[in-house]
Amino acid sequence: SPFSAHEEKLIVDLWAKVDVASCGGDALTRMLIIYPWKRRYFEHFGKLSTDQDVLHNEKIREHGKKVLASFGEAVKHLDNIKGHFAHLSKLHFEKFHVDCENFKLLGDIILVVLGMHHPKDFTVQTHAAFQKLARHVAAALSAEYH
Ligand code: HEM
- Spacing, Cα 12 to ligand 1 middle (Å): 23
- The 10s digit of each residue's pLDDT in 43-100 is 999 999 999 999 999 999 999 999 999 999 999 999 999 999 999 999 999 999 999 9
ipTM for the complex shown? 0.98
CA dist., res. 123 & res. 135, Å (int): 18
Residue 123 DSSP class: -
Which atom of ligand 1 is nearest to 38's Cα?
A: 28
Residues in the ligand 1 pocket, defined by CB under 6 Å: 38, 41-42, 66-67, 70-71, 88, 91-92, 96, 98, 102-103, 106-107, 137, 141
* C-alpha closest to that of 112 among 49, 23, 43, 46: 23
pLDDT at 139: 98
3-state secondary structure 42-98: HHHHCCCCCHHHHHCCHHHHHHHHHHHHHHHHHHHCCCCHHHHCHHHHHHHHHHCCC
Among 40, 77, 92, residue to substitute to test ligand 1 (most atoms within 8 Å of Cβ): 92
pLDDT at 113: 98
Angle at 109 between CA 120 and CA 17, to 5 degrees: 40
- The 10s digit of each residue's pLDDT in 97-146 is 999 999 999 999 999 999 999 999 999 999 999 999 999 999 999 999 99
